[in-house]
Amino acid sequence: MTFQGAFTALVTPFKDGAIDQDAYRELIEWQIEQGIDGLVPCGTTGEAATMTHDEQGEVIRICVEQTKGRVPVIAGAGSNNTKEAVNLTILAKKAGADATLQITPYYNKPTPQGLVEHFKALSNEASMPFILYNVPGRTGLNAMPETIARIAKEVPDVIGVKEATGNLTQCSNLIEQCPEGFIVFSGDDFTVLPLLALGGHGAISVVSNIAPKMMADMCAAYRAGDTAKAKDLHYKLQPLSRAMFIETNPIPVKTSLGMMGKLKTSFRLPLVPLLAEHEQELRTALKKNKII
């Protein structure tokens, strides 16, 4: 499998409190039809933090089954508890995921040595390709370039990183310090194109839930050397990306998919529906950009 281009951090449709398998399968099929390069179930956008382990295994299994090998699947399987991350990784491996997305342990804020040992334990107990996920806005911990470079060298299963700081200086330092071929995905929809220009490989994206073709085409255009087209698509995506973050992700993107008729807009606590004053703002942005 090739890990480059636009990967969608998939939402998880719910219905009557349970996973809506039919809507999920239809969403996956639509993403692939639109030309997405890969899929990421059970990430932040997929509300994995509200799921049981059995549900996470089910969501990953459905994604792998529906995808049928047409695009790679990177399954969210991280935790701030190393043993729990091992167990979730084993579930993802059994479900047939091509790799897992492993968030840096949140809340307990490990030292750089703790991060190295966390990933070594994952590799020793549940070996498969891992994408490290650095998102300090969610975890309270910023894995610095020198730490990620060390992990890349000492833990061969760690093949890449989803870099969600939005800090292009840090991204540049990261690519400079990591081994050649180490995969760097943008985890910040606003900086996908600049990161590609620095040598990044693509994006694990929120906005591609509603605009998969646009994000995939932007990444493809840059790879093909058509920087004018890539820049045009970048600026077309910017207002949509802003709309996806008018409230906490995934509230706006899931509400958007509801407006598009792709799923029933339903969340699990502690997430709640979009505020009324933001709903019209979101609808206007979607209409203006021809999403609905």
Q: Which CATH number does the domain housing residue 49 bear? A: 3.20.20.70
Residue 195 confidence (pLDDT) = 98
Binding site per annotation, positions for pyruvate: 45, 204
Average pLDDT value over all residues in the chain: 97
What range does the domain containing 141 cover? Answer: 5-226
> What tens digit of pLDDT does each residue of 226-241 get?
999 999 999 999 999 9
Residue 261 lies in a domain: no
Residue 284 lies in a domain: no
* Claim: this prediction has a pTM higher than 0.85: yes
Kindly tell me if the per-residue pLDDT of 60 is higher than 80: yes
Residue 7 confidence (pLDDT) = 98
DSSP state of 46: T
Determine the Cα–Cα distance for residues 149 and 151; give it in Å rounded to an integer: 5
DSSP state of 190: G
Residue 209 confidence (pLDDT) = 98
Residue 79 lies in a domain: yes
Residue 83 lies in a domain: yes
Handedness of CA 75, 202, 252, 292 (dihedral sign): negative
The strand pair at 14-15 and 18-19 is best described as: antiparallel
Task: Give 231's contacts (C-beta < 8 A, 6+ positions apart).
Answer: 193
DSSP state of 87: H
Catalytic residue among 24, 133, 222, 262: 133
SS3 of 76, please? strand
Q: Work out how many domains the chain is built from and give that number.
A: 1
Catalytic residue among 94, 107, 109, 162: 162
Residue 72 lies in a domain: yes
pLDDT tier, 1 (very low <50, low <70, confident <90, very high otherwise): confident
- 109 carries an active-site annotation: no
Q: Which two tokens stand for residue 25?
A: 């399968």
Binding site per annotation, positions: 45, 204
Residue 16 Cα distances to 42, 267, 274, 283, 291, angstroms? 19, 10, 18, 25, 27
Determine the Cα–Cα distance for residues 233 and 202; give it in Å rounded to an integer: 14
Residue 144 lies in a domain: yes
- 162 carries an active-site annotation: yes
